[in-house]
Structure 1
């Protein structure tokens, strides 16, 4: 069975909404909800920007799959997503926030990310939705439609049921997570993390820093990095303008090769392995100009790759090793995965006194950051009692 255009009911529980009237009616029905469970389905294999194909919304009493492809706009839903009185409950929010910013012009707020929350409850670092549902509901989710092309119409009933499960169970799990957080006294610990999720700057393209995401950059140095920065920024803007995958403009391997060779004419440019003839014809002169301009920059203008931990010498490495033990100790007594709190790089950032160190922010500072800092400053002394690490304040 497939869902035909104009249908409003998939099952007695799930609605499929593909008309403006249906969307307005549904959003009006749930407008008084304190929270909604939210998920999206999209495709981006052939585009730069993700194409929103389905929005799933659930409350304790209603569930709908909304078809943005059929709808002229998402106005009523956007109003709900941006209503400060309605919490948007998501799991692993980043991609959902990115595409909803693109589709509605703003990032939904406020947001509650269950992936972040369950890490604070000791269920591991960055666990998937299916694992979370298994923990809380003892259910094994169907994975039969993970490769669905959500842009194809009509959608089958089984596909919509699969998509609906992403919010159906989320709406059941969310109150359980709130209860667990409240019982542990951690309900307010996540406010900074959740506020950061709604920061628009996290989801906007940054062409000038696109070079940092290219694996081959680790083999480059000096002026070669300047060339890579210029070429990667050009590729990013081309992909954005044409709405094409970046690899369709130039592959990462070609960018790295161009940066290493820094060709000066079309003949040498044509020898770069992987550079297609059509790209050479259309953009050859542009690429050469970008290389020349980047090579002419003074050394002070070359981009700096994050190098070895600045200020972390052998003596500091020993301190980081001890701090890792402190981190594991604090994680154990708080029943949280150490990886959910901090990484070794975070600890190194603490010893470098970086002001934006994650370990000194929000709940991470409360659980471990301040303890490690107090030990480093001599306010805490490590002891061993009953064959376990113990901490004495002020040496007492």
Structure 2
């Protein structure tokens, strides 16, 4: 199987890309996550305000620790929807817990229900500290004049990933784009196979040497990178 995959990658001219990507994964630091930050991975968590954020953080941390103890995915312990529902409802009793969105019967009784309500109480107590802010995002580090460039480049990368049958997240993440725009020396898009396939084109796009157009025809449609002629 390894030889077959290697041969296919060689035929596509992507063997070195795959080897470099595997090496990145091999060198990537591993270890336990910070359980107090588990809430940040919940979909739609940024819609929460005030004390609901503290409750989401506390319940998500309990879920993470419980999942680690049972060696199962966190969502098998409690769904994201249930965490959001509990955070918004702030239940004090089992009856209140039962009325929270996403909570089913298995969450209500015994040690499970008791632990959930304790996590809620912990979150309510923590909320007395004041507002719980979200950490700064990658885009916060970019000058306002460049935020449109991040959006534009993201659109181009999505199109390029489609054209080349590559996963857009493997090709370039938002962090990768920001680091390239900030001209950081360790930017992944400025070196290796990513620089060859997308990094240098992005630099040309931002510098004005290239531009994006939308091509629509019977045989092809989508964004296209084109050279911009220099005016004399």
The equivalent residue for 2:148 is: 317
TM-score, scaled to structure 2: 0.64
Alignment partner of 1:276 out of 93, 99, 108: 108
On the 8 A contact 1:254/1:272 being kept in 2, the answer is no
Count of aligned positions: 214
TM-score, scaled to structure 1: 0.41
Distance in 2 of aligned mates of 1:370 and 1:254: 45
Asked whether 1:363 is paired with 2:190, we answer no
The equivalent residue for 1:391 is: 227
On the 8 A contact 1:346/1:359 being kept in 2, the answer is no
Alignment partner of 2:74 out of 221, 246, 267: 246
Asked whether 1:208 is paired with 2:36, we answer yes
Distance in 1 of aligned mates of 2:20 and 2:41: 26
The equivalent residue for 1:194 is: 22
The equivalent residue for 1:180 is: 11
Asked whether 1:373 is paired with 2:203, we answer yes
Structure 2 alignment gaps of length 5 or more:
214-223
In the TM superposition, what is the alpha-carbon distance from 1:236 to its structure 2 partner? 0.9
Alignment partner of 1:221 out of 28, 32, 49: 49
Deviations 1:280-300 (A, max 9, x none): 65325522332123312343x
Deviations 1:313-354 (A, max 9, x none): 6985378447855986x779xx83475574684686367638
Alignment partner of 2:133 out of 278, 302, 316: 302
What root-mean-square deviation, in Å, do the aligned CA atoms of Structure 1 and Structure 2 show?
Answer: 4.5
The equivalent residue for 1:353 is: 182
Deviations 1:351-387 (A, max 9, x none): 7638576544531122221232134235x35599xxx
Deviations 1:238-263 (A, max 9, x none): 12123355345433222112211334
Distance in 2 of aligned mates of 1:338 and 1:173: 19
What SS class does the counterpart of residue 227 from structure 2 fall into? strand
Distance in 2 of aligned mates of 1:248 and 1:326: 34
What SS class does the counterpart of residue 283 from structure 1 fall into? helix
On the 8 A contact 1:239/1:246 being kept in 2, the answer is yes
Deviations 1:38-87 (A, max 9, x none): xxxxxxxxxxxxxxxxxxxxxxxxxxxxxxxxxxxxxxxxxxxxxxxxxx
The equivalent residue for 1:266 is: 93
What SS class does the counterpart of residue 234 from structure 1 fall into? helix
Query: Larger radius of gyration, structure 1 or 2?
Result: 1
Distance in 1 of aligned mates of 2:177 and 2:21: 21
On the 8 A contact 1:381/1:395 being kept in 2, the answer is no
In the TM superposition, what is the alpha-carbon distance from 1:232 to its structure 2 partner? 0.7
Alignment partner of 2:85 out of 254, 257, 260: 257
| 1:234–1:361 CA distance, 2 compared to 1 (3 A) | farther
| 1:193–1:187 CA distance, 2 compared to 1 (3 A) | same
Structure 1 alignment gaps of length 5 or more:
1-169
What SS class does the counterpart of residue 215 from structure 1 fall into? coil
On the 8 A contact 1:236/1:246 being kept in 2, the answer is yes
Distance in 1 of aligned mates of 2:122 and 2:137: 23
On the 8 A contact 1:190/1:362 being kept in 2, the answer is no
